[in-house]
Amino acid sequence: MYMLGNTKMGSASSFSKFCLTLLLLVVVLGSTNAQLSTNFYSKSCPNLLSTVRSTVSSAINKEARMGASLLRLFFHDCFVNGCDGSVLLDDTSSFTGEKNAVPNRNSARGFDVVDNIKSAVENVCPGVVSCADILAITARDSVEILGGPKWAVKLGRRDARSASQSAANNGIPPPTSNLNQLTSRFNALGLSTRDLVALSGAHTIGQARCTSFRARIYNESNIDASFAQTRQRNCPRTTGSGDNNLAPLDIQTPTSFDNNYFKNLISQRGLLHSDQQLFNGGSTDSIVRGYGNSPSSFNSDFVSAMIKMGDISPLTGSRGEIRKNCRRVN
């Protein structure tokens, strides 16, 4: 009887262990393959969206250009190892971050605004919301505040524990890119050619430094002559002279999110070489024309492309962390 009873107990014990193992497996798999959702923080941080919005509004009211800068941070984050907040990390003894990579050095800005947003969010729900998600919400708010479309942001990303300067140098397309280079880089991240053109429409706001467009305004022929002359006044031909002087990416409405960027391309007034490549006798001309004629078409495609971009390789579940300070790992 004793042996029989022991066997039954052993079977029960084995079965319990099996169930526990199965449960743990489900939990682990669930946590590593967790999906982003628009209501991720609805219970854990119900005031998140209003908290972020008020801080973004305040920053843009102080400086309209900041909206473009905050939107650009999200692009530059997602294009380097996915949307994981890595662009926000300062250099440490163990890694060289992305802030001083060529695409970001002397041009990426708004980090102090992100710090302010993070502090405000930590005040209402400490240790809950990732810096990666704050970038995603901030990008949406910036677009909407400047007159662009609104959308529900998918959330649930976690923050990377390291950053890579080399990945930033290689991953973010430079303003010298041609259409093939742009298309292949976007395609490698799961973004279509239409997504490329729609996302490039973010250049309807913001400014660029003389170093980014000097070669275009002095050397290229597919540029409106009067536009080139206007830009040359503030960007001398000589390297090192006026390198950081700024010009609006959209000469018509530089602080309004609209479709004038595409109208500019059609009239050969794209500021960057990479901008004008989208309308230069190639495969994307028809998309540019479509967006130039229809603001609603541009807006809807821009929203779709932003959501797709926000889905690039997020850290979810148990991967990464929720940083207390966006500039450094916990």
Determine whether the annotation assigns residue 195 to a binding site.
no
Determine whether the annotation assigns residue 98 to a binding site.
yes
Q: Which helix (H) or strand (E) holds 15?
A: helix 2-32
Q: Which of 181, 189, 73 is nearest to 132 (CA)?
A: 73
Determine whether the annotation assigns residue 250 to a binding site.
yes
| DSSP-derived 3-state class of residue 37 | strand
The string of DSSP letters for 125-173 reads: STTTS-HHHHHHHHHHHHHHHTT----PPPB--BB-S---HHHHHHHSP
Residues 274, 175 contacting (CB under 8 angstroms): yes
How far is residue 122's CA from residue 120's CA, in Å, rounded to a whole number? 6
Determine whether the annotation assigns residue 253 to a binding site.
yes
Per the residue annotation, which of 36, 59, 72, 76 is the catalytic one?
Answer: 76
Determine whether the annotation assigns residue 230 to a binding site.
no
Is 76 assigned a catalytic role?
yes
Annotated binding site for heme b: 203
Annotated binding site for Ca(2+): 77, 80, 82, 84, 86, 98, 204, 250, 253, 258
Annotated binding site for substrate: 173
Annotated binding site: 77, 80, 82, 84, 86, 98, 173, 203-204, 250, 253, 258
| Residues belonging to the active site | 76
